Structure 1
Amino acid sequence: MTIRLLPDVLVNQIAAGEVVERPASVVKELVENALDAGASRIDIDLEEGGARLIRVRDDGGGIAAAELPVAVQRHATSKIASLEDLEAVATLGFRGEALPSIASVSRFRIASRRNGDDNGNALQVEGGRVGEVAPSAQPQGTTVEVRELFYNVPARRRFLRAERTELGHIEEWLRTLALARPDVEVRISHNGKPLRRYRGDSASETGARLVDALGEEFSRNVLRIDHAGAGLRLHGWIAQPSYNRASADQQYLFVNGRGVRDRNVAHAVRQAYSDVLFHGRHPAYVLFLELDPRAVDVNVHPAKHEVRFRDSRLVHDFVYRTLQEALSGTRAGAQAGMPVESHSPKVPASIPNLPPRQGDMALKLAEAPAQYAALYAPAHPGPSLPVLSLPAAGEGKVPPLGHALAQLHGIYILAESAEGLVVVDMHAAHERIGYEKLKAAHDGAGVRVQPLLVPQSLAVSVREAEVAEREAATLAALGFELTRSGPQSLLLRSVPALLADTDVAALLRDVIGDLLEHGQTRRVEEARDELLATMACHAAVRAHRRLTVPEMDALLREMESTERSGQCNHGRPTWARFGLAEIDAWFLRGR
């Protein structure tokens, strides 16, 4: 076959293969155009899950009659004009491929009217063949109709799923839009019946939308975060570890207002939750990351689902540290949910600051504080730690976890709080307290290094050897002293002392793998934490150990002042609260 130029219709259909995957893709492109046009209300009408009809109407700025034929040509856009514009894209759409691609695989009509125009104008496109502009009744704004999607590409139409499935994809994307733009009213109908309405509220910062989109249970279990630094700002909501999911179905990330998926940020979030989430569960969050548009490339995916950061290591570290510090404040007794005000991620606003950390401690198991030192078995000797006490409460003020009443089956502590009843799993709570103390002591002492009597040779790939050589200072700070001994070999001379008895070769390979993929690693800290968690578990008070009321109260006070005490080391909750109204309902009181 000779080399020849492809017809415009075929070129547009090929582009449609990248941009238009299913009806939800069409809705996304058309709604993003409406938002870029300044719309405050968007109406979306669907038939048969969008396969038969997608109609998107907006009250935005509109398009001039002379520009309608240009709008359906490839690479025609009003949003960028130069390379400088492309490097600092601030709009949702900019490629100029959406409308011609959609029009090439559907029966397409666009009508628009600008403010001040005497009448609207419309343009019909049938399978990529552009008609003539004609006057049309149209309010201010733009209406785009897409009928019989993929009617002229039967192979693509056969890949469409059932009506309910395609509608579900559209609803999920519109849920993402609702979270990103609470100021815009969105109405959706399906097969002539109203389906969903998101009310616009310019004064709201997603609060009401959070309930509309993700439900009251999510909104009752979130922490509000808002932190800025190094030219970045991260704000939004993260769910308490006790509210977790079997899948990643409630994870929403917006970069400069654009809903995206990013492996780098997802990895940072997983690391932040690693110490408080049950194995195999997923965190829930709605996060907005803002940074200079020139520091992020939004032109790396045809449908703009992904972005690339200029400094991915900085972004990863910023997200991880912000969330990790916010989660460190999830102490038992803290209030969560929408009423929590925006705060620094160090500690939630409702919790008093911790007293200063104690001095360094030898890396061995420590006994419990003085009030309940007897709970430890004599087989675990070590220096006692001073009691961490909360600031003195006012007269008659009840602490967040209340006052201990009794034990239940030697497993749970029952306490009376201002709201009702608090139930504490005493082993899980004591385990977390001991674990946090061990981590604090180890962090204060720094990383201790153990030299190897005989340096160990490791076979690696060329890329791994290059990373290890380039990141030698980072690896040394983690306790690994090594040199490159060949194109595909490393010579390991020292390892972290606490992990000397583990498989350090496998650990080092994992560390280098993280540096390759993410530019940083927490493998050493995670391995250390796993060992310290095991030590704390063995030292924690066991079930069926009878406690006195003062001992139980002392444990409650320690929980209130210990970071992450809402969960044990394995991610299980350490406490539960039952309000008086809930308890009254058990016994039908007031009915």
Structure 2
Amino acid sequence: MAKIRVLPPSIAQTIAAGEVVERPASVLKELMENAIDAGSREIVVELKGGGLERIRVRDDGEGMEPDDLPLAFERHATSKLRTAEDLYAIQTLGFRGEALPSIASVSRMTIRTRVPSSMSGVKVVCEGGTLGDLVEVGCPIGTDVDVQDLFYNLPVKKRFLKSIQTELRHCVNHFVRLSLAYPSIAFKLSHDGKELYELPRTEDPLIRIEALLGREVYDHLKPFVHEEGGVKVSGFGSLPLYTRGNGEGIFLYVNRRFVKDRLIYRAVLEAYRNHIPAPRFPVVLLFLELPASMVDVNVHPTKSEVKFRQQEAVFQTVRRALRLSLEEKRPLAGSDRVLRKEEPWSEPSEKPPFPSSQPPSLPLSPFRSWDERTWTPMARERAYGEGEEEGRPGLRLLGQVHGTYLVFEDEKGVLFLDQHACHERILFERLKGQSEQGRVPVVRLLFPVTLELSLREAITLRAHQEALLRLGFEIDDMGEKTFALRTVPAILDEREAPRELVEILDELVLEERAPDTAKQVERILVRLACHGAIRANHLLSEKEMIGLIREFASFPLSSTCPHGRPIVYGLPKSELEKHFKRR
């Protein structure tokens, strides 16, 4: 008996739908792209329950003829392709003819549509892939797609989805990406009846950028335009002084299609290399325009991946466009705006760099003993290997190297200690204990600071508000994207606290799971400890160095900072003797 069988149409549809419809955001993306392809001037999006309960997209585009509507639910039925050659001349966002049938097979979908030449429209209901009859209805010109109870017939798929806030954030991401690319279209977004965005039509992309990404991003953008070899690169890139904690602020478009392309992404980071610190990311809106024949968009069902015919040429053009922009002196994106006032210049410190011809603040004798305590941390034991005896004489402070590493010695060898990593561990353990006792020291601001966040940041803040409060951030919700910051952890500089809070949100925005307060608190603690710790290239006095090592020894033993970087490095005396051939 044959083992291979042809799958029933219902199972085949479910498998195909899984490639296109991963979550509510996938549905929203496909419906918004269809609305854009229809030549709409206004697109209205309504969400309920993060898109799980309802996704409704209304547009004022060309609509569909009554005869075309049933065909739209057939797999691979499309108005955008006629021949195989058309695949290499695609000018629209959609073309595969998979979206509507895939979405309809896992939801309850209702479509109302009307073309300009008709006095009335038509309506059809499709439930779980079963199409109902066409009904004549009154409706405005355009198309209204209403998707309800997503994955109602696939409970297993539904269990893999995240929290409502997480799913909403993914929907907002797609809404923002498409809205940025089409400022000439008006967009509206609401969730559970509450309006989140209302974006009027505009010919100035910077107006749309400010509305979606915020004033601070807008204030630090610089335009760029570069063209060579038939490839045009344009857009806006942030100045080196403004960076983010993740790559969420990098928006890449190929012929106005948002893509996730490693080649372009790498070119962007390469262009900013040596201009911004290594772990930081710029904000970039990059629009790549090239002939459709030079790019293949038929790579993945979600249409978010592309292949270029001349990859190296594209890479170099993108990199060169951003490099030229960063290296030339040109006005910022808005020439009429006032630049932020720079920090006042101050006289250099009277303390000279070490070494110096002046007497350093370190002890003149490198063998001044530390006789009040003995050194027994796990880190040092590990540095000198297993099996060493526990009893040790005290460490002697030798000094500081490059303003970053403290040097100690004892009878067993030399110990190098990273002052930033050590202090970071100290602050983390201290804050962790205070947090567990509900006694994190805070500073109440004399005047609350108003925070104007992006919608994605606002969603993230609300999801993590409990964890932030436990760590000293008392924040009042003023509605939509506005918040009032009333208290901050005492470890932070009051002037830097609002910016630090946004940086924390940048890290938390990548969290996929439902909020876990304990894990959230720990992640924020790590961030606060790192921010408050002594920096590298900072000279310390003898008293400060000894105080640092004493406090470190008073906490639970650890060989790394909270980020996992080593705190100490031991160089045994035997290794020194071997190197200098004394053994």
**TM-score class normalised by the smaller sequence:** 0.5 to 0.7
Q: How is 1:351-430 mapped onto 2 (pairs within 5 angstroms)?
A: 407-409=347-349
Instruction: Give distance in 1, aligned partners of 2:122 and 2:103.
Output: 20
Alignment gaps of 5+ in structure 1: 342-349, 351-399, 413-541, 545-591
Aligned twin of 1:295: 294
Structure 2 Cα separation of the partners of residues 167 and 288 of structure 1? 26
SS of residue matched to 2:318? helix
Contact 1:411–1:543 under 8 Å retained in 2: no
- 1:265 alignment partner, SS class: helix
Q: Match of 2:133, as an amino acid? A: E
Is the Cα contact below 8 Å between 2:236 and 2:333 reproduced in 1?
no
The 5 A counterparts of 1:31-430 are 31-201=32-202, 203-204=203-204, 206-329=205-328, 336-339=332-335, 407-409=347-349
TM-score computed with the length of structure 2 as normaliser: 0.58
Q: Residue 316 of structure 2 aligns to a residue in which SS?
A: helix
Q: Could you tell me how far 1:185 is from its partner in structure 2?
A: 0.7
Distance across 2 between alignment mates of 1:198 and 1:15 = 34
Residues 233 and 405 of structure 1: CA distance in aligned 2, closer, same or farther (over 3 Å): closer
Q: Which amino acid in the other structure matches residue 118 of structure 2?
A: D
Closer, same or farther in 2 for the Cα pair 1:411/1:180, shift >3 Å?
farther
Instruction: Please state how far the C-alpha of 1:227 moved relative to its aligned partner.
Output: 1.3
CA drift of 1:405 comes to 9.0
Q: CA deviation at 1:198?
A: 1.4
Q: CA deviation at 1:197?
A: 1.1
Q: Report the alpha carbon displacement of residue 108 of structure 1 after superposing the two structures with TM.
A: 1.0
Is this contact kept in 2: 1:297–1:307, CA < 8 A?
Answer: yes
- Check 1:24–1:411 CA distance in 2 against 1; reply closer, same or farther (3 A cut): farther
Partner residue of 1:7? 8
**CA pair 340-294 structure 1, distance change in 2 beyond 3 A:** farther
Mapping of 1:506-545 within 5 angstroms? none
User: CA, structure 1 residues 543+169, in 2 after alignment: closer, same or farther (shift >3 Å)?
Assistant: closer
Q: Report the secondary structure of 1:219's partner residue.
A: helix
- Cross-structure match for 1:393: none
Tell me, in whole angstroms, the C-alpha distance in 2 between the residues paired with 1:166 and 1:405. Answer: 46
Q: Which residue of 2 aligns with 1:395?
A: none
Task: Please tell me whether the aligned partners of residues 186 and 200 of structure 2 are also in contact (alpha carbons under 8 angstroms).
Answer: yes
CA distance in 2, matches of 1:228, 1:168: 35
CA contact (8 A) 1:224 1:235 kept: yes
Over 3 Å counting, the alpha-carbon distance change for 1:324 and 1:405 in structure 2 is: closer
State the one-letter code of the partner of 2:305.
Answer: E
SS at match of 1:324: helix
Deviation, 1:314, is: 0.3
Q: Is the 8 A contact 1:410 1:543 kept in 2?
A: no
TM-score, scaled to structure 1: 0.57
Determine if contact 2:206/2:333 at 8 Å carries over to the other structure. Answer: no
The SS at the match of 2:85 is: helix
Aligned-partner SS, 1:196: strand
Q: How far is 1:336 from its partner?
A: 3.1
C-alpha distance after superposition, 1:281-301 (max 9, x if no partner) = 112100100000110000101
Structure 2 vs 1, CA of residues 152 and 307 (structure 1 numbering), >3 Å: closer, same or farther?
A: same
Q: Secondary structure at the match of 1:6?
A: coil
- The answer on whether the counterparts of 2:60 and 2:143 sit within 8 Å (CA) in structure 1 is yes
Q: Deviations over 1:377-423 (max 9, x none)?
A: xxxxxxxxxxxxxxxxxxxxxxx99xx998343599xxxxxxxxxxx
SS in 2 for 1:282: coil
Aligned with 2:227: secondary structure? strand
Deviations 1:489-520 (A, max 9, x none): xxxxxxxxxxxxxxxxxxxxxxxxxxxxxxxx
| Corresponding residue number in structure 2 for 1:458 | none
**Alpha-carbon shift at residue 118 of structure 1 (Å):** 2.1
Return the alpha-carbon distance in structure 2 between the equivalents of residues 5 and 69 of structure 1: 25
Aligned to 2:581: none
CA distance in 2, matches of 1:48, 1:143: 19
Letter aligned with residue 233 of structure 2 = L
For 2:538 and 2:347, the matched residues in 1 are separated by 11
* Structure 1 residue 543 displacement after superposition: 11
C-alpha distance in structure 1 between counterparts of 2:86 and 2:43, whole Å = 27
Runs of 4+ with deviation above 6 angstroms: none
Q: For the structure 1 residues 89 and 410, does the alpha-carbon distance in structure 2 shift closer, same or farther, using more than 3 Å as the test?
A: farther
SS of corresponding position for 1:118: coil
Tell me if the contact between 1:224 and 1:340 (Cα under 8 Å) persists in the aligned partners: no
Stretches of structure 2 that go unaligned for 5 or more consecutive residues are 353-536, 540-583
For the residues of structure 2 that align with 1:192 and 1:275, how far apart are their CA atoms?
A: 46
Deviation at 1:76, TM superposition (A): 0.2
